[in-house]
Chains A and B, each alone.
Chain A
Amino acid sequence: MSGHSTYQPQSPFMQWLERRLPIASLVYSSFIAYPTPRNLNYWWTFGGILAFMLGVQVVTGIVLAMHYTPHVDLAFISVEQIMRDVNYGWLLRYLHANGASFFFVAVYVHIARGMYYGSYKEPREVLWILGVILFLLMVVTGFMGYVLPWGQMSFWAATVITNLFSALPGVGEPIVTWLWGGFAVGNPTLNRFYSLHYLLPFVIAGVVVLHIWALHMVGQNNPTGVEAKDDKDTVAFTPYATIKDGFFIGLFCIVYAWFVFYIPNYLGHSDNYIMANPGQTPTHIVPEWYYLPFYAILRAIPSKLLGVTALASSILILAFMPWLDTSRVRSANYRPYYRQFLFIFFAAVIGLGYLGSQEPSGGYVIAARILTIYYFAFFLVILPLLGLIEPTKPLPNSISESVLSKGAAA
C-alpha cells in the first residue's frame, strides 16, 4: 500500500537504458517510492512550493532576458518596452517581480517551519546549512534583480548596499570600487549584476539538488520530531505527498495571482518608476519588503562596521542553530517554553520588518534596538540555556502511535 517498492523497468528500451544510465530508477526512488512521514502537515508543502517558484522565476526570467537591455541609458526604457510592446510582456514582468516576493514568502514559511519543528537538529545539520546557503543566494539574487530595472530605488539600493562593504577596515574602499567596476554605481555595475542575476539561479538550482540529496539521506522530519521507524510510520512520496503539495501549490498560486493580476505594484515602490538619477537621492530609501527586518537590524546599530556585522550575523547565525540549541527534543509541540519564545521571535522579526520601512528616528530606533537584542538573544542565550532547563512534554513512541492516538481522541 505504501509502495516501498523498487523500480522494475518493463519495456525493453527502459531495461536497455537502466543498464546504462539508471535515471528512471533514481527518479522512481526519489520522487515516487521515497518514504515520507504520514503525519506531515501542510507546512511541509512549502518545500514543493519553493521548487515551483524557482521554476517560475527561471522560466519568466529567461524570457525577460531576451528583451531586456543592460545599459544605464536603456535599461529603464527596455523594461517599459517589455510592459508595452512585448506580447504578454506585462504578464512576464509582473510574474517575475511578484514571483520574487512570493519566493521569499515561501522561504520564510519554510524556515519558520524548520525552526518550529526542530528540523535543523541532528542528523539534519548539513541539510539545514545548505538551506541557509540557499537563502543567502536568494537574498543576493533578489537584490541584483531589483537593480536591473534601473529605477531610483534600484540605483540607490545598489549604492547603499554595495557601500556597506566600505565599513570593512582597510580593504573596504578597494572592495567597493572592485564591486562597482568604477568609482560609482554605473554601467559596469549594472552589467555585472545582470550577469550574476542570470548565473545565480542556476547555482541555486545546483544547491537545491544537494539540499534534496541531503534530505533523502536523513529523511524528513515531522510534526512529532520522532524519527520514522518502520513502514507503518511512512507513506510513499507519490501519490501521498505529491497530491498534498499540488493542492497547496494551487492555493499559493491563487494568492500569487491576486497580486500579479490585481495589485501588481502593491509590493513595489513608486519611486522605482522614476529612472535612476545619480544626482537626486530619494527622500527615503527602502529595500524590498523581504529585506526589511535585516535593514532594521543594520540601522539599529550606530556604528557602521558593527551594523554591517550584525546584518551579516543575523543571517549566518541561522547556520549555527543545530549547535546553539541544546534541547534533545525537536518539535516545539513538546517544548512549551521554546514555543512561546519562538512565537515572540517571529513577532520580533515582523516588528523589525515594519520598523525597517520607517524613518530611523526617535522611538523607532529604540524599538528596533530592543527587537534586535531579542533577535540575537534568542539564538545566543535562549536556545542554549532553554534546552538545559526546559521541562518537555512526553514524546510519543512512534509516528503511528501519535497518529492513532489523535485519531482515537477525535
Chain B
Amino acid sequence: MKSHRIVFAFALAASLSVAVIETASAEDAPPRQKWSFSGPFGIYNQAQLQRGFKIYKEVCSTCHSIKLLAFRNLADPGGPGFTEEQAKAIAESYQVTAGPNDQGQMFQRPGTLADHFPPPFPNDQAARAALGGKLPPDMSVLAKARGYEWGFPKFVFDAFTMYQEDGPDYIHAILTGYTDPPAGEPLPPGTQYNKYFAGGAIGMPKPLTDGQVEYTDGTPATVDQYGRDVAAFLMWAAEPTLNARKQLGFQVMIFLIVLSGLLYFSKKKVWHDIAH
C-alpha cells in the first residue's frame, strides 16, 4: 500500500509534466557510436588517437586552434602514446612565436615540448576576417562542450549505463551529417546544410572526404572512420586523464564496497541484541 501511494503520486506529477511534452528538436539526434573509452573499463585506443591527431593536424588545424594542448601531452601516459622523441619532432615541425628578445622583437622559433599548439590565426578577428565572419571554436575542450539533450526518460538510463559520449557522438555526427538541404528551405549565404547542426545551417564547409587523409595501418579511409578517429582524439584532448580516472575509479569502488560490507556486518553485530 505504501509503494502504491508513492507510485500514484509520482505518476500524477509525471503525467502533469510529461503529458504536455512535444519533443520538438530541430536537429536530428546524433547516432550513438561505439567508443573504446565508454563504460567502466573503457580507455583510449592509442592507434585511434594517433589517427585522430593526424586528421586534426592535416585538416582541422587549418582553422581550429587547440590552445590548451601542449606538445608534451602527446607523450603523456593515457594519450596517443607517442614517444618523447616523436613528440619533440612534432613540436619542432611547428613554428611558435616567442619573445620579446633583447631587441624587443617577437620572433619565430621551432616548438619545444613545453609549448602549446600554436593557433592558426593570431587572434579571433583575424580568423573571422579570413573565414567569412565565422569564428571556428577552439578544440581543446570541444568534445565536452558539445552534447545533445536526450530528454526524459533516456537521461535516467544514461546514468546507469554510464553514457558520457554525447560530445564525440555529436562531433562524429556533424562530420558525417552533410546532406542536401530539405527542398524549399533556402540556406543563408556562406552556409551548408547539416542535419545534426542546430538550425541546420552550418558555417563550416564539409571538411572531410573519403581518402583525403592517408592511413598507413589498413584502417578504412572513409569519412565515417575519420569522424570517429578525430572525435576520439578530441575527447582525449578534452579529457586527457580519462584512463587514470577509470583505473582509480575501479580501485575506489572495490575499496568502498568492501568497506561498506564490513560496516554492514559491524552494524549487525553491534545491534544484534537491541530490538529496533
Q: Could you tell me the dominant secondary structure of chain A's interface residues?
A: helix
- B16, B166, B270, B275: residue with the most chain A Cβ atoms closer than 10 Å: B16
Contacting A90 at CB < 8 Å: which of B5, B18, B245, B253? B245
Chain B residue at minimal CB-CB distance from A254:
B256
| Contact present for A243 and B267 (CB under 8 Å) | yes
CA distance A339 to B9 in the complex (A): 11
Give the chain B neighbours of A91 by CB distance below 8 A: 245, 248
**Contacts between the two chains (Cβ within 8 Å), count:** 144
**Is A262 a contact partner of B162 (Cβ separation < 8 A)?**
yes
- Complex: A50 Cα to B256 Cα, angstroms: 18
Size of A's binding interface in residues, CB under 8 A: 59
Contact A240 B270 (CB under 8 A): yes
Interface size on B (CB < 8 Å)? 57
CB atoms of A247 and B260 under 8 A apart:
yes
> Given the interface contacts A90-B241, A91-B248, A344-B9, does A250 sit within 8 Å of B256 by beta carbon?
yes
B47: interface (CB < 8 Å): no
In the complex, whether A13 has a CB less than 8 A from a CB of chain B is no
Does B238 sit within 8 A of A, measured CB to CB? yes
Closest Cβ of chain B to A242, distance in Å, is 9
Task: List the B residue with the shortest CB-CB distance to A272.
Answer: B145
Q: Is the CB of A362 within 8 A of B20?
A: yes
Chain B residues, Cβ within 8 Å of A351: 13-14, 16-17
Contact B9 A343, beta carbon cutoff 8 Å: yes
- B1-31 interface code vs A (CB 8 A; 1 in, 0 out): 0000110111011101111110000000000
Closest to B8 in A: A343
Give the nearest-CB partner of A346 in chain B.
B9
Residues of chain A with a CB closer than 8 A to B263's CB? 243, 246-247, 250
User: Please, how many angstroms separate the alpha-carbon atoms of A362 and B21 in the complex?
Assistant: 9
Residues of A within 8 A of B68 (CB): 77, 80, 84
User: Which residues in A have their C-beta under 8 angstroms from that of B244?
Assistant: 90
B187 adjacent to chain A (CB < 8 Å): no
Assembled-state Cα–Cα distance A263/B163 (Å):
7
Whole-angstrom distance between the alpha carbons of A38 and B275 in the complex?
8
Contacts of A80 in B (CB 8 A): 68, 140-141
Residues of A within 8 A of B (CB): 38-40, 77, 80, 83-84, 90-91, 94, 235, 239-240, 243-244, 246-247, 250-251, 253-254, 257-266, 270-271, 273-274, 283, 339-340, 343-344, 346-348, 350-351, 354-355, 358, 362-364, 366-367, 370-371, 403-404, 406-407
Task: List the 8 closest A-B pairs by CB distance, nearest first.
Answer: A363-B20, A261-B249, A250-B260, A351-B13, A347-B13, A273-B145, A270-B147, A343-B9
**B residues bordering A, Cβ < 8 Å?**
5-6, 8-10, 12-14, 16-21, 40, 68, 73, 137, 140-141, 144-147, 152, 158-159, 162-164, 166-167, 198, 238, 240-241, 244-246, 248-250, 252-253, 256-257, 259-260, 263-264, 266-267, 270-271, 274-276
